[in-house]
């Protein structure tokens, strides 16, 4: 049992003072007001003055209002504590509340003993470039309630309009994550809002390597289609079917490359001039390099263009397929040279880069859009489906429009 009081307390008036306070009594104190450090300072000053022991604390801010909460243990009867807190609340125009737990109430001393037992930590990031709608937020909250998922913390990540927010979640261990992913996917599709769910652990914010797909990710085109256009052998249907996972990637690539037999190798120089980088790609890569990330492009396209993208964006690694050329080097033979960089090969190369850089897979981010990126996205600590095909969206913890 506990007693809860909340008011805008004025010391000159009569103030309710609890009786029979005992040493080791636990009290949850909260002060809300239009100040920040001042509120923290005045509360801590009261605690020190009355010889309290602090067990936990938190601070949250919404515009100009700050709430500072402290869980304390009394070391004596501390009857002056509440009057001191009331005076502090008046001084800083704050609202004071406190919750006094009876002696028989046992507060947990560790998360494992709290309402977090048999639960695990996740973080969910929700993103809509046009702003998070009330309809989405309502359905999102109802989904969490149905799944008995507790929200421990919410944080706005965007400036200007409310377009991105981070939720720290406490999720029951028995949660069916395959079903939950399906529900999140349907919620995302119906509201045009992305939901990225990932384990909340030390690796989440300590990523060190980002691996990108190239076509329709770092650049806006599919290079095989661009080559085919210039060669006059367009077969876009094969590309779309392969990227949607409807036909085997290796088979589709061989078919498309065979159409290039006799095409001049000069076509690659022309394509380089016409490549359109995805908006924000240069800025993102520059920012990531500045804070120490290793960057790579692993493409199911072709190495001359992957190397061009690598140099343009300042990446560290580039892997892609090699087109075989004639003995005089003037035309393509319609064949590939070396192993095909398909989905499984992409995942292998991601792991090779991580090992070479001594980076754990949990510290790797992979970004891609097609079915042949699924293995790579699954291998990384965080897989981001960027403007992805439907099959990819269903499989990945994702942002769909991150760059």
What pLDDT was estimated at residue 11? 41
Alpha helices in 275-389 (DSSP H): 281-290, 303-313, 343-356, 374-379
Q: How confident is the model over 54-86, as pLDDT tens digits?
A: 787 777 777 778 888 888 887 766 667 888 888
Residue labelled with tokens 């690659």: 268
Mean pLDDT across the chain? 81
Question: Could you give the 3-state DSSP secondary structure of residue 217?
Answer: coil
What pLDDT was estimated at residue 174? 92
183 vs 396: CA distance, rounded Å? 13
* Cα 40 to Cα 47, 338, 376, distances in angstroms: 11, 64, 46
Most confident range, picked from 76-80, 102-106, 237-241, 326-330? 326-330
Do 208 and 160 contact (CB within 8 A), yes or no? no
119 vs 26: CA distance, rounded Å? 25
Number of other CB atoms surrounding residue 162 within 10 Å: 15
Using the predicted structure, report yes or no on whether residue 401 has a pLDDT greater than 60: no
What pLDDT was estimated at residue 79? 63
Give 175's DSSP letter. -
198 vs 122: CA distance, rounded Å? 6
Minimum mean pLDDT among 35-44, 356-365, 392-401: which range?
392-401
Q: How confident is the model over 227-255, as pLDDT tens digits?
A: 878 777 765 545 555 555 566 788 888 88
**98: confidence class by pLDDT, cuts 50, 70, 90:** confident
The two tokens of residue 40 are: 């923290």
260 vs 254: CA distance, rounded Å? 10
What pLDDT was estimated at residue 62? 77
What pLDDT was estimated at residue 7? 40
Do 91 and 62 contact (CB within 8 A), yes or no? no
Range 363-388 average pLDDT:
86
Most confident range, picked from 36-40, 116-120, 375-379? 375-379
Q: Which positions are annotated as active-site residues?
A: 213, 215
């Amino acid at each position: 049992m506990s007693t809860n009081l909340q008011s805008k307390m004025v010391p000159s008036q009569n103030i309710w003072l609890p009786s029979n306070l005992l040493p080791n009594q636990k009290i949850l104190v909260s002060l809300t007001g239009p100040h920040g450090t001042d509120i923290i300072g005045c509360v801590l000053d009261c605690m020190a003055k009355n010889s309290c022991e602090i067990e936990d604390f938190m601070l949250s801010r919404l515009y100009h209002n700050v709430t500072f909460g402290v869980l304390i243990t009394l070391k004596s009867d501390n009857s002056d504590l509440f009057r001191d807190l009331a005076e502090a609340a008046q001084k800083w125009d704050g609202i004071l509340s406190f919750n006094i737990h009876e002696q028989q109430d046992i507060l947990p001393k560790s998360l494992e003993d709290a309402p977090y037992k048999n639960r695990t930590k996740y973080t969910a990031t929700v993103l809509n470039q046009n702003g998070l709608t009330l309809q989405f937020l309502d359905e999102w909250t109802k989904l969490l309630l149905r799944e008995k998922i507790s929200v421990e913390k919410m944080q706005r990540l965007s400036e200007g309009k409310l377009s991105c927010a981070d939720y720290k979640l406490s999720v029951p261990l028995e949660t069916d994550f395959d079903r939950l992913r399906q529900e999140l996917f349907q919620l995302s599709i119906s509201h045009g809002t992305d939901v990225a769910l990932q384990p909340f652990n030390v690796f989440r914010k300590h990523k060190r390597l980002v691996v990108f797909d190239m076509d329709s990710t770092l650049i806006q085109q599919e290079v095989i289609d661009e080559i085919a256009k210039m060669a006059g052998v367009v077969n876009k249907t094969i590309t779309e079917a392969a990227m949607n996972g409807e036909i085997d990637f290796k088979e589709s690539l061989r078919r498309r490359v065979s159409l290039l037999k006799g095409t001049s190798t000069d076509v690659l120089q022309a394509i380089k001039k016409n490549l359109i980088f995805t908006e924000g790609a240069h800025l993102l890569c520059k920012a990531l390099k500045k804070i120490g990330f290793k960057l790579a492009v692993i493409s199911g396209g072709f190495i001359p263009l992957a190397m061009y993208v690598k140099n343009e964006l300042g990446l560290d690694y580039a892997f892609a397929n090699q087109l075989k050329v004639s003995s005089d080097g003037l035309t393509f033979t319609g064949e590939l040279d070396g192993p095909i960089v398909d989905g499984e090969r992409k995942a292998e190369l991601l792991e090779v880069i991580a090992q070479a850089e001594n980076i754990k897979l949990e510290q790797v981010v992979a970004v891609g859009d097609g079915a042949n990126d699924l293995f790579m996205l699954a291998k990384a600590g965080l897989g981001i489906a960027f403007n992805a095909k439907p099959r990819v969206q269903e499989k990945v913890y994702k942002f769909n429009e991150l760059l």
